[in-house]
Structure 1
């Protein structure tokens, strides 16, 4: 059963901690609590935080609004990850705040690809119910 939804592969505690981290991290970035010239000029979306089973590692999936300067934003976040971890420690009540890793969120690309597929003439023909519509 390799095709299980992502949420069922993680335990409830992992999901709960990931959601806590996502909300707190989003708030930190939204309020501009990390002083960095790159981060100050970008709105960063935190779409998901996945936590390891031992709760010691967390991977935050992020994307700057509009996808601009994505590599620079990831480098800036990585440069400040220890500081951000400290801010998270003051915000959420955990015995130990996980080590943070930042990755590019590719779900936006997948969504755009699906939209393009659904917009294609062949798919429109197949979904219209009229076999002659695409010819």
Structure 2
């Protein structure tokens, strides 16, 4: 019981000790990684390079999220959706270009079922851009 109270008090103290501008920067930092990922994927000449960029960015985003606090539940939801969309891309070992129509259809159905051609949700766009680059 005492340990639980100490942990709760410590976590409350840590949350209060982080200035709001630093909390807000978690989402901005993740968006920076996502933008860098899109640039890397679009500039890569072959899919192995694109998958390396995807895996590197996903690892960085996950590590940043594990080691940081977010400001709001909306930010948490946004970041969860972005990570889930990136993780929905088939791994390199299972990716087949001939199945791209299925991958794209499944991606849209899972993350933005009302989209006609491309997702409009900002958190889903990086995953869509990576998938599009892998399929071209």
TM-score with structure 2 length normalisation?
A: 0.29
Higher helix share: 2
Q: Hey, which of these two has a bigger chunk of strand by percent? A: 1
Normalising by structure 1, report the TM-score.
0.29
